[in-house]
Structure 1
Amino acid sequence: MNLLKIHNRQPSYFLNSHTAPLSPPRFLSLPCFRPTPSLPPFPSLSLHKYKFPISRVSGTKPSRWTNEEKEEEFEDLAPNSVVYQKTLRLVECSMFAAVAGLAYFLSNSLAIENYFGCFFSLPIVLSSMRWGVAAGRKTMVATTMLLFVLSGPVKASTYLLLHGLVGLTMGSLWRLGANWGLSICLCTFVRAMGAMGYVLISSFLIRENILALITLNVHASITYMFTAIGVNTIPSMDLIYALFGTLLLLNSGFFVFLLHILYAVFLSRLGMKASLTMPRWLEKAI
């Protein structure tokens, strides 16, 4: 058998030019490709019944983001705007409170409170002079709460009684333009009351009457002095109380007077001399 003839042999269903067309084989006629006459014809869609809106370029509205509104958006960032001033006041009061609390905390930790005690009221005075009495009060409260968290209620109450109330009183009176005589008198009274409150709190904490111990020691000292001089009299307790109150007021008065001078010089160097009410001798000295 010739293999070439078998390889070149064509199948019988192919068309030839000399033969008639043959029907396709059975394996090519699949029933799935036969049309089904039972299905209805597809409905014809007419687009004339529907009306679609046509957008025109000339009918569109202009954008609302205009230059005027942009300027209004950036007006809040101006230095003279209300939002900017409130934000600046909040930042400065927070900064002053943080500085005062940290300085008092470090001074107590390093036992140098007596050397830097005159600067503890300065942030409250600065805040009151710059932003008003309400800002000074907020600074005092923020500093007290910060010390309450860092050192506990004892240190926080000590700062509030000895330094916070004095700074608030001084800053408020200076902000209102009060005379130095009135300011020194009121600050001295506040300082003395704060010192008495500190003594009472300490007495409650250690379960001992410190005020009674102080008065008894003063009474014994005065009696010994009278005996040394040759005066055979024993002072009464009313005299001892009066003497103790007088010494306390003198001590507070000298401290407050030095604070007035120190803070006046410091604020003058900061450029706030025009907002201060100082006596003439101090103005000439500065």
Structure 2
Amino acid sequence: MDWTQFRLSEYAGVDNAVISQIERGVKKFFEPDLLLRLANALQLTTLERREFFLAASGLDNSQLVRQPSMGTATDTHHPGKILEKLLGILRQVRAPSFLNDVYGDVIAANTAVIRFFNIPASMIESAPHMPGGFNAMRMTFGNELVGRTHVSENWDAYAMSSMRSYRDSTLRYRAEPYFKYLMKTFRDPSKYPLFDRYWKRVSSVEQDKIMNSDTFEYDHESHGHIKYLTTGITTTTAFGELFLTTYLPLDNHTKDVFDGLLMDGGDSVIRLAPWPEKPMP
């Protein structure tokens, strides 16, 4: 949706002066009724509403987690320990899997998932040298057309599901400089010809989303008809959530495909995007 102050004020039933204060960052306290009106007017999904209300709390990620003290133990402020634990899990998972952050940057992936999407080595090698190079949106919507080639049928449904997940995970972080940095690239039609179209389309979808999981069924370019479910482990840290996503096969053929991808080093893990630092070259 492309909102003006007046239009949002009208839809939400909120005085235009209040909307102006919010936009300028002047309003610091958000009454529950105001938040509810805004969430309803913006037609947020259930998952987006949760992120919206968390953002409105005014607390940053380092305040949302348990605070270290003499009497309590927590690893939430130690990125090295967090990554070590998650990478250890990733090495043991017997299915295509990857680890990403709230911005959609893929921090690590097993070789099986790279083989599954037929991601060329050149794409990984060039990633550190471009904005969003390690981002999942590049694979789905970038002009290399890796995602479009990968899904030879049901592309629209695949793209919509991918974009909805991206909008959910990024909602709390859209005012951050790094998100704006990514969006400047994603909205460049010469680099991401389909991104903006799906970003806008998803915001008008009537169907609610209540689970952080998607089912995909399509004809794969190399493996034929496949069907799988995405499931994940969410890790809460002082630097934002991390999501370890695994593809679970939903039929015997897909299981055989995934088992084959894991052979000959498919369970090895490749470290990709930096985290928690977010350089903006």
- TM-score, normalised to structure 1, is 0.24
Task: Give the alignment's TM-score, normalised by structure 2.
Answer: 0.25
Task: Looking at secondary structure, tell me which structure has more helix per residue.
Answer: 1
- Of structures 1 and 2, the larger Rg is shown by 1
Larger relative contact order (C-alpha < 8 A, sep ≥ 6)?
2
